[in-house]
Amino acid sequence: MTDLPPGPDGPVSNRISDGVFLNTVIQGRNITVVLPPEVTPALSGLPPGSVTFTGREDQVEDLISALSPVHHGERAVLVTAVVGLAGVGKTELVVQAAARALREPGWFPGGVLFVDLFGYDPERLVPPEQALEGFLRALGMPAEDIPAGLQDRSRLYRTVLAAFAERGRRILVVIDNASTEDQARPLLPTDNTTATLVTSRDTLDLDARLHDLGPMDPQACVDLLNGHLHRARGTGDTRVKDEPEHAEAIARLCAGLPLALRITAAILADSPARPLASLAQALETAHTRLDRLRRKDRAVRAAFDLSYQRLDGPHARLFRLLPLNPGPDTSTEAATHLAGTDHWQTEELLQDLARAHLVIPPGPAEAWGRWRMHDLVRLYADEHGRTHADTDRREAALTALLDFYRGTTEAADTHLSTLPGTRSPRFPDRDHALAWLDAEHLNLIAATTTAHTLGHPETSIHLAFNLAEFLDRRRYFDDWITVSTTALAIFRDLGDRGGEGQALNNLGLALQEVRRFEEAIDAHTRAATVYRDLDDRHGEGRALGNLGLALQEVRRFEEAIDAHTRAATIFRDLDDRHAKGQALQDEAVTHNERWLRQSRADHRLAP
């Protein structure tokens, strides 16, 4: 019994039986806390785990290891937070880990307390006072002994947990779906013994061991889909086994999000005769995919809504603009051009979006400053971006981004040529230029192939030509073919014959590198014809020289010699001695190659 100073109505005291007293619990008259004999998982309301749970074994093991009373020879991790995107499976993972930990002898003899705070649903959000009342009732506190205020409830709750721990009845606390530190912190034990699992869409400042939960891998997605169908329809449902390629397509289109996979499985279970191919085809169209990923009261879009609605103006605008980047990730520098703000402000916005798990930050092995979006989040953000196109100044943001890619690529290209010339001050040297091109490679290819469809054909053209040296140097020949083909189609649409000749020439060079010589010959032949029609003698000479090299590769030596001879004649007439010398050298090499092959043939036929 701990006596407190007398109050106006007489002595005030608090008594905790079968427990310990840690500072002032509550101010009241004759409060007696008697610990109940047991707190069981059933009493505490731990949700049942899914019997089709799969693909997260490593993550479960990590959580169980953290919950162990002895963690790698040290004290257990007291607070573990599982954070991730809406629908990624945080609650299921924690429930599975908690259920397994409760089965470990001696780990949590006091049982488990579970609460879903509904932190992202304004209509169902559970304030910490309400959660503490539920916990205290589960811990055996009579209603009349539960104080009214948050601070007093939290003190009493923590004191009771400490009492259980001191008596060898350690409890596991599971706090699901917390949205803020203020919502979760009053529920955290403070006795240095009781363990806590927290889930949130945000990376909360709770001094917790963080576990970032990402999407599932493709095979686990297929297994989850199959497991749900077997659960709903029995093992006689063999659609996943019978249509493996369409099961993989559904997994890909759901982008590893368990919520999306469960919805698709439920849709398929509703219609056992529906083939997987039908659903895969329905999901293939990007702009309607989120519409298809819903069933009754479950929808991917609705899950994302709860996170999006919490964003303020600048964060929401950048979130909506990020899908304008056509490639797989966005650098902070590129996002700065999208947002129209300075570098540091943009980086802060991106980090806030990453803490909310609406963008994916760089991993430990990745370079800092590159950000990605989950495929379904990207579709969701783009939907809102189109709705807010005017207020976000979406077209201006796209133009700024493409201008950044175009101008910086041109600057980098000036450092790649081995010939004398002006080098852009944008990069200090060739290594820095190459490093930027390497980092932005996939974004630049995507920008080249999509800019013209967005009303910026000149950007596609400039990128295609300014990337040629880099793609050749890095041996990205398939990409070189792609951007050259894109440029060729644009020039033909514009009726630009000179540009068409340039694009054909580059296309032929790229085709040669992948040994598609017949196609290369056709491209160079057409390029020479275009230049001849335009009376561009220099262009015709270059095309003929490249044609000769392609013909030589397929041993059409006479035609190759003719092409080189014609090229040399053109360059002689133009008084371009360097180009003439190269043409004559190529002609000589072709003559030599023809002679060597003929000699070998004659030798094989000699008696």
Domain ranges of the chain: 2-212, 218-302, 314-392, 397-604
How many distinct helices (H) and strands (E) make up the chain? 28, 14
Instruction: From residue 208, give the alpha-carbon distance in Å to each of 272, 344, 556.
Output: 45, 27, 71
Instruction: From residue 401, give the alpha-carbon distance in Å to each of 178, 304, 456, 603.
Output: 36, 26, 11, 63
CA distance 187 to 128: 7
CA distance 251 to 268: 14
User: Tell me: the pLDDT tens digits for 449-506?
Assistant: 999 999 999 999 999 999 999 999 999 999 999 999 999 999 999 999 999 999 999 9
Which of these ranges, 115-124, 511-520, 568-577, has the smallest mean pLDDT? Answer: 568-577
Identity of the residue numbered 323? P
CA distance 392 to 383: 13
* pLDDT of 602 over the 80 cut: no
- pLDDT of amino acid 64: 92
Instruction: Give me the residues paired with residue 176 across strands.
Output: 116
Are 225 and 240 a contacting pair, CB within 8 Å? yes
Gap between the terminal Cα atoms of the chain:
119
CA distance 534 to 524: 15
CATH of 397-604, one of 2.20.25.650, 3.30.230.10, 1.25.40.10, 1.10.760.10: 1.25.40.10
Residues 6+ apart with CB under 8 A from 178: 117, 119, 184, 198, 199, 200, 204
Residues 6+ apart with CB under 8 A from 514: 477, 478, 481
CA distance 172 to 192: 12
Instruction: From residue 361, give the alpha-carbon distance in Å to each of 301, 350, 366, 372.
Output: 22, 8, 9, 7
CA distance 378 to 355: 16
Do you know the residue count of the chain?
607
Looking at domain 2-212, does it have CATH number 3.30.720.110?
A: no
Average pLDDT over residues 581-605: 69
CATH of 314-392, one of 3.40.50.1220, 3.40.50.300, 1.10.10.10, 3.40.1390.10: 1.10.10.10
Q: Do domains 2-212 and 314-392 have the same CATH topology?
A: no
Encoding tokens for residue 343? 């570098």
Which of these ranges, 303-312, 554-563, 577-586, has the smallest mean pLDDT? Answer: 577-586
Q: Average pLDDT of the chain?
A: 88
* pLDDT of 405 over the 80 cut: yes
Instruction: Give me the residues paired with residue 12 across strands.
Output: 4
Are 567 and 548 a contacting pair, CB within 8 Å? yes
Residue 275: is it exposed, middle or buried by C-beta count within 10 angstroms (0-12/13-18/19+)? Answer: middle
CA distance 555 to 601: 13
Identity of the residue numbered 345? Q
